[in-house]
Chain A
Amino acid sequence: MALIISVIEQGMIYAIMSLGVYITYKILDFPDLTVDGSFPLGAAIAAVMIANGVPAIVTLPVCFLAGGFVGYLTGLIHVKLHVRDLLSGIIMMTALYTVNLRIAGKANLPIYTDPTIFDNDFVNGIFPEALRDYQAAIILIIITVIVKLLLDWYMKTKSGFLLRAVGDNDTLVTSLGIDKGRIRIIGLTLANALVTLGGCLYAQQQRYFDVTMGTGTVVIGLASVIIGTSLFRKVTLINVTTSVIVGSLLYKACVAAAIRLGLAATDLKLVTAILFLVILVLSMDKKRKVAGADA
């Protein structure tokens, strides 16, 4: 049972991050490596704020905005300085490593005793004692559903239409008299805001920040997106954001199963990489594979 709860908790956290990756990878066709830096950025900000006694609820909007700013910078580097997509992300990812260290002050910052969004006087008062073990999972499901609904809503607005159009056919966006570069920047901003929000929740669920915790985030995000979208490709009733969330849960379940089978936590990154490769091959996303290798 504890294992399932842990899969749900982490699956939901990574689902929020994966929704960000979905925007860059699927909608903008932009392999954004900034994610490996913006995810721990959220963790660093959250850990420092919480260690300093800031109410946990405040960390969410702060991380969202900070992540948005970071994505905005990646967008500026790509669009205004004409640096190619992969390199823009690598530059930001590398820079963020230092930034995250600076924010946290050290490579590892535990917040074992401070109140978090999942464990504070307010929510402890709402949830009965019997649900204590499920508290974090329930709160995460609520947050994820809210994020999903907001993203669904945005994609149906005029601004969201442009974002979808720029990934679909950017010539049309130019024909509409709109600067396609600006739309790409908006997409990267929104995507990294979500990723950083995911990192913010991750630090509070794990109760620590570690500077290396971002490594491989983009792979997890891509795996979730690809599992979700290829699994439900034919099912029209399930919309894309839901399938990304389910993809993230399935991915986390696979990893949990691998560890259950006797792999050590230190093997996790290798498991992640192999799992991603298997998923790529199975989903036959050939075009992307070649594009990735070439980049």
Chain B
Amino acid sequence: MLELKNISKTFNAGTVNELVLFKNFSLSIGDGEFVSVVGSNGSGKTSMLNIICGSIDIDSGAVVINGEDISRQKDYLRHRRIGRVFQDPAKGTCPDMTILENMSLADNKGKPYSLTKGSNRERKEYYQSLLAPLGLGLEEKMDVKVRTLSGGQRQALALLMSTMTPIDFLILDEHTAALDPKTAEIIMQLTDRIVKEKKVTTIMVTHNLRYAVEYGDRILMMHEGKAVMDRSGEEKKNMDIRDVLQFFDEISIECGN
């Protein structure tokens, strides 16, 4: 259970650029939920993820995981139970390291990074078996530097890497936004498969309303630091993209891609 309790956050407090993003914002996400978050630019979607991950501090309130207040916990400590994929495919992998090296690195998360061999050759076949179903040919490129891969290939790798070890939460920050439609589709299907297989609690920010409607079991629409729409269960299942669009129009915000 992830809870955001009465979060307040103001950027540039006390200056002309003061921006009150959250004021007593609360949200709770149950174990195993797959939440899609939509909303216009500046509505607080990504800031919410940053607050959960500890990338930005909060002014007041609390971030609580399974009853434990982690509001003051350092970002890297929080990431021990969080997997995160960013919009920028370059952020999830090391460009100057090979696919095998990247996957070995991710596979070791939670264990000590000691003076033993970094590349996990024994697990190479296992890594290849994770890559093969993507149909991107990555399993043939284990010793190729990630720098040479396309954005979609990198993002697929980043997604696999972020979920290789047991995690409690998967945070997806517009992770298909920088990809072409076809690759985005592949990544989205991979995401859905991983979430279902691992039953990991997932929060996905997206500008793609179709993805938000099709995938996940809960949909959240953010506007000016508030969740203006929050539907789950049957109510979410029966929604179609027109309902979301209509809602978008009602709060008169521009529609993302």
Is A176 located at the chain interface by the 8 A CB criterion? yes
Shortest CB distance B216–A (Å): 22
Per-residue A-contact encoding for B36-79, CB less than 8 Å = 1, 0 else: 00000000000000000000000000000000000000111101
A residues within 8 A CB of B94? 164-165, 168-169, 172
A residues within 8 A CB of B95? 168-169
Is B2 located at the chain interface by the 8 A CB criterion? no
Once the chains bind, are A177 and B110 in contact (CB under 8 Å)?
yes
In this complex, what residue of B is CB-closest to A156? B118
A residues within 8 A CB of B106? 176
Is A252 located at the chain interface by the 8 A CB criterion? no
The CA-CA distance from A165 to B162 in the complex, in Å, is 15
Is B97 located at the chain interface by the 8 A CB criterion? yes
B residues within 8 A CB of A165? 94, 97, 105
In this complex, what residue of B is CB-closest to A172? B94
The CA-CA distance from A179 to B77 in the complex, in Å, is 8
Once the chains bind, are A177 and B114 in contact (CB under 8 Å)?
no
Once the chains bind, are A176 and B79 in contact (CB under 8 Å)?
yes
Chain B contacts with A in 77-104, Cβ cutoff 8 A = 77, 79-80, 83-84, 86, 90-97, 101, 104
Shortest CB distance A22–B (Å): 13
A177-B105 contact, Cβ under 8 Å, with A156-B119, A171-B86? no
Is A112 located at the chain interface by the 8 A CB criterion? no
Q: What is the number of contacts between chain A and chain B, taking CB atoms within 8 Å? A: 79
Is A180 located at the chain interface by the 8 A CB criterion? yes
The CA-CA distance from A156 to B83 in the complex, in Å, is 25
Max chain A CB contacts within 10 Å: which of B74, B76, B106, B109?
B76
Once the chains bind, are A176 and B109 in contact (CB under 8 Å)?
yes
In this complex, what residue of A is CB-closest to B111? A158
Shortest CB distance A80–B (Å): 13
A162-B76 contact, Cβ under 8 Å, with A168-B94, A168-B97, A176-B105? no
Per-residue B-contact encoding for A158-191, CB less than 8 Å = 1, 0 else: 1111101100110111111111100000000000
A161-B74 contact, Cβ under 8 Å, with A177-B80, A177-B109? no
In this complex, what residue of B is CB-closest to A183? B113
Is A157 located at the chain interface by the 8 A CB criterion? yes
Chain B contacts with A in 167-221, Cβ cutoff 8 A = none
Instruction: Point out the residue from B79, B90, B101 that lies within 8 Å of A177, measured CB to CB.
Output: B79
Chain B contacts with A in 106-131, Cβ cutoff 8 A = 106, 108-110, 112-119
Is A127 located at the chain interface by the 8 A CB criterion? no
Once the chains bind, are B105 and A159 in contact (CB under 8 Å)?
no
Once the chains bind, are B118 and A161 in contact (CB under 8 Å)?
yes
The binding surface of chain B is classed by DSSP as: loop
- Chain B contact-residue range equals 20 to 34
A residues within 8 A CB of B97? 161, 164-165, 168
Per-residue B-contact encoding for A132-167, CB less than 8 Å = 1, 0 else: 000000000000000000000010111111101100
Once the chains bind, are B115 and A159 in contact (CB under 8 Å)?
yes
The CA-CA distance from A161 to B117 in the complex, in Å, is 9
A175-B162 contact, Cβ under 8 Å, with A161-B104, A164-B94, A168-B97? yes
In this complex, what residue of B is CB-closest to A162? B113
A residues within 8 A CB of B80? 177
In this complex, what residue of A is CB-closest to B147? A168
Once the chains bind, are B75 and A174 in contact (CB under 8 Å)?
yes
Instruction: Point out the residue from B90, B96, B117, B162 that lies within 8 Å of A157, measured CB to CB.
Output: B117
A residues within 8 A CB of B84? 175
The CA-CA distance from A169 to B96 in the complex, in Å, is 9
Once the chains bind, are B114 and A158 in contact (CB under 8 Å)?
yes
B residues within 8 A CB of A160? 118
In this complex, what residue of A is CB-closest to B114? A158
Once the chains bind, are A158 and B83 in contact (CB under 8 Å)?
no
A residues within 8 A CB of B119? 156
The CA-CA distance from A258 to B115 in the complex, in Å, is 43
Instruction: Point out the residue from B76, B93, B101 that lies within 8 Å of A174, measured CB to CB.
Output: B76
Per-residue B-contact encoding for A240-260, CB less than 8 Å = 1, 0 else: 000000000000000000000
Chain A contacts with B in 82-127, Cβ cutoff 8 A = none
Shortest CB distance B121–A (Å): 11
Once the chains bind, are B91 and A169 in contact (CB under 8 Å)?
yes
A residues within 8 A CB of B75? 174
Supply 24 A–B pairs (Cβ within 8 Å), ascending by A: A157-B115, A158-B112, A158-B114, A158-B115, A158-B118, A159-B114, A159-B115, A161-B105, A161-B113, A162-B113, A164-B97, A168-B96, A168-B97, A169-B90, A169-B94, A171-B86, A171-B92, A172-B92, A172-B105, A174-B79, A175-B83, A177-B110, A178-B113, A179-B74
Taking A158-B118, A168-B95 as given, write out 17 further A-B residue pairs in contact, using a Cβ cutoff of 8 Å, ordered by the A residue number: A154-B115, A157-B115, A157-B116, A158-B108, A158-B113, A158-B114, A158-B115, A159-B113, A160-B118, A161-B105, A161-B113, A164-B97, A165-B97, A175-B83, A176-B109, A177-B79, A177-B80
Nearest 10 CB-CB pairings of A with B: A177-B80, A161-B118, A168-B94, A158-B113, A177-B79, A157-B115, A171-B91, A176-B109, A158-B118, A174-B76
